[in-house]
Amino acid sequence: MIVLENVTKEFNSKSGTVKAVKRVNIQVNKGEIHGVIGYSGAGKSTLIRCVNLLEKPTEGKVFINGVELTSLPLPKLRATRNKIGMIFQGFNLLKTATVYDNIAIPLKLLGYDKTEVKKRVEQYLEIVGLTDKHTNYPNQLSGGQKQRVAIARALAQEPEVLLSDEATSALDPETTDSILELLLKINRELGITILLITHEMNVIQKICDHVYVMEDGEIVEQDTAIKLFTNPTHPTTKKFLNTISQRNLSSSLISQLKVTGAVTRLTFVGESTGKPLLAEVSQKFNVQPNILSANIIELKNGIVGNIVVHLIGDKEQVRNAIHYLEEQGVTTEELEGQSHE
Amino acid sequence: MSRSDQFIEQWLPIIGESVLQTFQMVGISLFFSVLIGIPLGILIVLTRPGQSLENKVIYQLSNLIINIVRSVPFIILLFFILPFTKLIVGTSIGVKGVIIPLVIYSAPYIARLMESAFLEVENGVIEAYTAMGISTRAIIWNVLLREARPSIILGLTISTVSLIGATAMAGMVGAGGLGDVAYRFGHLRHEVDVMYATVVILIILVQSIQSIGNRIAASIKKD
Ligand SMILES: Nc1ncnc2c1ncn2[C@@H]1O[C@H](COP(=O)(O)OP(=O)(O)OP(=O)(O)O)[C@@H](O)[C@H]1O
Ligand SMILES: [Mg+2]
């Protein structure tokens, strides 16, 4: 379990003090995957580096499995770091060492004997699917394969938690998916708790249970992935959601359409995705639904459907129809057009 | 007897011994320079701002010392520290007398070359090892020195070549070696052939050292 309590990190430089992380609270329970998303410069890397004290928080506390890292003397901190794996955007492998040695060297340095080292290297190369690459050097591998080696290196310490600093940001979409699958697999099969940071919403979508949206050093919104995808409130969260599904219609279009009814976004979760609700609406009320856009987002823990619909009919009927939809467990959001000039 | 046989018979022992002396001077002073230069290189890399042993005083002081020593040309250094040499090794002439100036000349140079070699090692790798809870000492040996090996070899090749040049100047204080032969016989006594011979030997020496260095570095480098 990872707990951050009011973590703040300031950098002092010639041009003044930069508050990279401001009073952040995070709790990742055992076996969960939490993701922090934010734009460049939001403070994500600084935040995740505070978890294993690569960056010492200016204020606040960090706990891993109940042990407060921020108060540990260096030797004990080192011992605890063994239990925290970390992977990076740049892989950070030894260029002059083979795949095998890249995993074996840290194990040797951590004091494991030869047979244990061999056993673990083979075991974890198997898990990441690179058994045939023992003798290759990193420059002979693709980006995805390098990240697999880095993941095997992290896993070989048998950590309880894994930190990921933009582990897929340097990879193409397909390779990204395969690495995300791998992270899901190790989370499920080895029960490893994962905290990751990313600027890609699809990473959050595919593997996270819980999401934090970070901006300017602060967590501006956080919730379970399903709730956040269903009911985003902060503008930044909405912008990120737009990156995986086009959620916006132009405001002039909306204004035009609003003359004959309402333009509403309907968000369906779980149960309600299965019902033919729009057909029911047109039967029950004098309202004709016209679908403007629709998409479905598969999250780790469920499915969220999104429909932007033009409900054509008189005001009263439309209002009743929306009310009915809400009763059926659909989240609705009336879209606004251009403000009246 | 042909002219060349005569030349060989007359000069081989002298030149042969001088080559040996050059090797001796270069070998011994390289050994001590590495012993000082590599740790000094590590020190200035690890004490620079943002690094694990960040320490402004040590960092700036070592830089200052390196720069001061590096700004004195070897020939001046040689005479400048004569009294000091005499105090330490009891003599200021011969191979023994020239080792200290050679080390003082070469160690800061090696430190600079090592610094740039270590700076090439990606900081991220060091960070990854720190994050695994591995000690700074183990990181120095297994990441910093290991990953920098190709550049270390190239740096040492360069400093060996520059040491050969310096030993030639050391001939001025009667240290022996190829420079001494070229100066005493080639220059002062106008034995042009001797001059040519020493130049050719020096060229061959430098060429071989450089290509051996290049080859070793290339074989370690994996990208
Ligand atoms: N060592 C440092 N010294 C001074 N300022 C720093 C340092 N590290 C980060 N910062 C500043 O802190 C802020 C957050 O940086 P950080 O690297 O955490 O952002 P990020 O969200 O990871 O961005 P990116 O997506 O580009 O990696 C930035 O304004 C950055 O300039
Ligand atoms: Mg970052």
Position B144 pLDDT exceeds 80: yes
Asked if B222 and A95 come within 8 Å (Cβ–Cβ), the reply is yes
Mutate to test the pocket of ligand 1, among A10, A11, A19 (most ligand atoms within 8 A of CB): A11
B5-15: pLDDT as tens digits: 888 888 888 88
Spatial neighbors of A165 by CB under 8 A, at least 6 apart, are A44, A45, A48, A49, A86, A87, A88, A89, A196, A197
How many Å apart are CA B121 and CA B148, to the nearest integer?
6
Predicted pLDDT of residue A341: 43
Length of chain B equals: 223
Closest to A210 (Cα-Cα) out of A86, A66, A36: A36
- Give yes or no for residue B33 having a pLDDT over 50: yes
What percentage of chain B exceeds 70 in pLDDT? 99
| Number of domains, chain B | 1
Please give the distance, rounded to the nearest whole angstrom, from the Cα atom of residue A217 to the centre of ligand 2. 12
Average pLDDT over chain B, rounded to an integer: 90
Q: Which of A19, A37, A44 to mutate to test the pocket of ligand 1 (most atoms within 8 A of CB)?
A: A44
Q: Do B124 and A82 touch (CB under 8 A)?
A: no
* pLDDT tens-digit series, residues A98-111: 999 999 999 999 99
Sketch out chain A's domains with CATH numbers.
2-242 (3.40.50.300), 246-334 (3.30.70.260)
Q: Is the pLDDT reported for residue A271 higher than 80?
A: no
Query: What is the average per-residue pLDDT within B202-219?
Result: 95
A168 has pLDDT over 90: yes
Question: Which residue(s) pair with B13 in the sheet?
Answer: none
Across-strand partners of A164? A87, A196
Q: Which residue ranges have their beta carbon within 6 Å of ligand 1?
A: A 11, 13, 18, 20, 38, 40-46, 199
Q: Give the position of tokens 């071989």.
A: B208
Q: Which of these, A65, A20, A18, A60, lies nearest to A40 by C-alpha position?
A: A20
Q: Tens of pLDDT along B75-101?
A: 888 888 888 888 888 877 777 788 899
The structure tokens 């050292």 sit at B209
Whether A91 and A54 have beta carbons less than 8 Å apart is answered as no
Find, among B22, B16, B1, the residue nearest to B177 by Cα. B22
Q: Report pLDDT for A273.
A: 60
CB contact (8 A) between residue A157 and residue B132: yes
Beta-sheet pairing, A210-215 with A33-38: parallel
> Does residue A97 sit at the B interface (CB-CB below 8 Å)?
yes
Q: What is the tens place of the pLDDT at every residue in B112-121? A: 999 999 999 9
Output the domain CATH number for residue B150.
1.10.3720.10
| Predicted pLDDT at A1 | 92
In this structure, the residue with its CA closest to atom 4 of ligand 1 is A11
Lowest-pLDDT choice from A133-142, B59-68, B179-188: B179-188
Subunit contact A93:B125, Cβ cutoff 8 A: yes
| Contact of A17 with A208, CB cutoff 8 Å | no
In this structure, the strands spanning A84-88 and A161-165 are parallel
pLDDT in tens, A154-166: 999 999 999 999 9
Q: Identify the pLDDT of residue B156.
A: 97
Closest residue of A to B151, CA-based?
Answer: A96
Is the pLDDT assigned to residue B218 strictly greater than 50? yes
Q: Find the domain containing B211 and state its range.
A: 3-220
Angle between helices A277-284 and A315-327 (to 10 degrees): 140
Q: Quick one: average pLDDT of B122-133? A: 95
State the ipTM, two decimals: 0.89
**Contact by Cβ (8 Å): B179, B169:** yes
How many whole angstroms separate alpha carbon A98 and alpha carbon A100?
Answer: 5
| Selected residue with higher pLDDT from B41 and B78 | B41
| Res. A139: pLDDT tops 80 | yes
Answer whether A176 touches B (CB < 8 Å): no
The arithmetic mean of pLDDT across residues B190-194, rounded, is 86
Q: Is the pLDDT of residue B1 over 70?
A: no
Q: What's the pLDDT score for residue B89?
A: 80
Distance from CA of A89 to the nearest CA of B (A): 10
CA angle B56, B57, B63 (to 5 degrees): 90
* Residue A93 near chain B (CB below 8 Å): yes
pLDDT of residue B79: 84
Virtual torsion, Cα A110, A115, A119, A122, nearest 10 deg? 90
Strand partners of residue A21: A9
Among B132, B147, B154, B222, pick the best mutation site for testing chain A contact (most A Cβ within 10 A).
B132
Q: Which of B124, B142, B146 sits opposite A92 (nearest CB)?
A: B124
Instruction: Identify which ligand lies nearest to the alpha carbon of A41.
Output: 1
Please give the pLDDT value at position B52.
Answer: 82
